A = this chain, B = another copy of it.
């Protein structure tokens, strides 16, 4: 059975005493093992990254960018293989894996423009014959800690820009589905990254804590749940590092009476149930303004849920695959039970689904709750499963108040045709990413990703322009040259023989 190790200093390394099974969520069969790095293994990676830094830092940005160009090509050429690895370990449908990978590739495309993005500001004559400019220099060794739900994309949010900016990098992907990230890192080396510039360590808390405490690590990017994000942020910053830690979400969509309802329902189906709702940008709450809107919305959703195809991720005819683990499946079912107890109306019950041929898989149908209210655990908590809650409000302001009162502030959207409603909503809502008739307002790669409130700890957002600022530090130079040098000297040397 295959054991996944680490990529350190250009070599695949294995041999840690502890290992963990890799499991196919569609069958619960063990497909391999992953080494869990000990502290010493992580330190080996840090040492490699540290050693590679000096030369990499001095490599012109355009040369670093050209490796990103080659990486893009390699990712496209190897897309099928990457998606297969994703689906085997995560369970999502291949098409969905391809969508994830495409989003990841877009971050590589953006990193190809790093010579432009690293430009500093140059000021002539800040004083008489004094100039000043800023440079955005790399930080040194950076680390990324990424979640199971986008095993290929989230690592690509981080390390391509980090290394394009001149840093070296250590990635610790999720130990549940590390294979795609590891394979992509190998493509990075194949594209031309020198050994040590990009390293991958697999592991658990021991690896994370080593990254958070080692003095040579200058910056940490993290994506995961809010409690861990908070831990990573406070630990990392207390250890003098720059940290951005992205946490949980509970994303609401407001559906206005004037919305194009068919369009909204179509959008919500994908946003709520795509990838089994295991997305930090999934819409898990639809807030309908007015009972007429709510009634029509619920009817249309129910009709669409019936048509959903659920099954093994390798079959692109399916809309949803299994959830990631048996434990996660049980947790979701627990939330559904609790929702009923707390008084919400279960309009569609997705529990008890069996997929022929995959009877041991972690399968669960799409569920729909109506009449959900604040305070219910299905509203306060991030379920991370295919469960959509409908809330009913009388006014748009009431819906906005619900959103603003929630702990999380990652994404949100509104369905309306009305310019004023859209503008009022996007201006005032206390959420970092806002869609207007766009259900998953994940910013494109040339903008930046980040929630507000307890969805993000740190100042700077992920990828896009903010990531350039995150992965570089500002140096400001002020320069004046003394008079009386060779220019005037030359005048004195040759006074007579003009």
Interface positions of A (Cβ within 8 A of B): 58-62, 65-66, 69, 72-73, 106, 109-110, 112-113, 115-135, 137, 233-234, 237-238, 240, 242, 256-260, 263, 289-291, 394-398, 416-424, 426-427, 431-438, 441-444, 446-450, 452, 454, 457-461, 465-466, 469-470, 473-487, 489-491, 493-495, 497-498
A494 engages B394 (CB within 8 Å): yes
Docked pose: A125 CA to B410 CA in angstroms? 23
Min distance, Cβ A255 to any Cβ of chain B, angstroms: 11
Min distance, Cβ A468 to any Cβ of chain B, angstroms: 10
Besides A116-B117, A289-B490, A434-B478, 12 other A-B contacts (C-beta < 8 A)? A59-B125, A61-B124, A113-B113, A120-B122, A234-B234, A395-B498, A398-B498, A417-B419, A417-B486, A423-B479, A438-B478, A459-B459
Chain B residues within 8 Å of A436, by CB: 419, 477-481
A/B interface sample: 26 pairs, CB < 8 A: A61-B124, A62-B446, A65-B109, A69-B69, A69-B109, A73-B73, A109-B112, A119-B446, A121-B122, A129-B423, A132-B447, A258-B486, A259-B482, A263-B482, A397-B487, A398-B498, A417-B485, A419-B436, A420-B481, A420-B483, A421-B485, A426-B477, A431-B475, A448-B474, A460-B460, A466-B474
Docked pose: A105 CA to B77 CA in angstroms? 22
Chain B residues within 8 Å of A421, by CB: 485-487
A115 engages B444 (CB within 8 Å): yes
Q: Which of A116, A289, A491 is the most central at the interface, judged by chain B CB atoms within 10 Å of its CB?
A: A116
Min distance, Cβ A117 to any Cβ of chain B, angstroms: 7
A112 engages B113 (CB within 8 Å): yes
How many copies of the chain does the oligomer comprise? 4
B432 engages A490 (CB within 8 Å): no
Min distance, Cβ A402 to any Cβ of chain B, angstroms: 13
Docked pose: A461 CA to B417 CA in angstroms? 33
B394 engages A491 (CB within 8 Å): yes
Given A119-B122, A124-B118, A133-B122: A459 and B469 within 8 A (CB)?
A: yes
Min distance, Cβ A143 to any Cβ of chain B, angstroms: 16
A485 engages B121 (CB within 8 Å): no
Given A133-B133, A394-B491: A260 and B484 within 8 A (CB)?
A: yes
Given A394-B495, A423-B129: A234 and B242 within 8 A (CB)?
A: no
Min distance, Cβ A199 to any Cβ of chain B, angstroms: 23
Docked pose: A263 CA to B478 CA in angstroms? 16
Docked pose: A66 CA to B240 CA in angstroms? 39
A290 engages B490 (CB within 8 Å): yes
Min distance, Cβ A463 to any Cβ of chain B, angstroms: 11
Chain B residues within 8 Å of A460, by CB: 459-460, 469
Min distance, Cβ A233 to any Cβ of chain B, angstroms: 7
Min distance, Cβ A107 to any Cβ of chain B, angstroms: 12
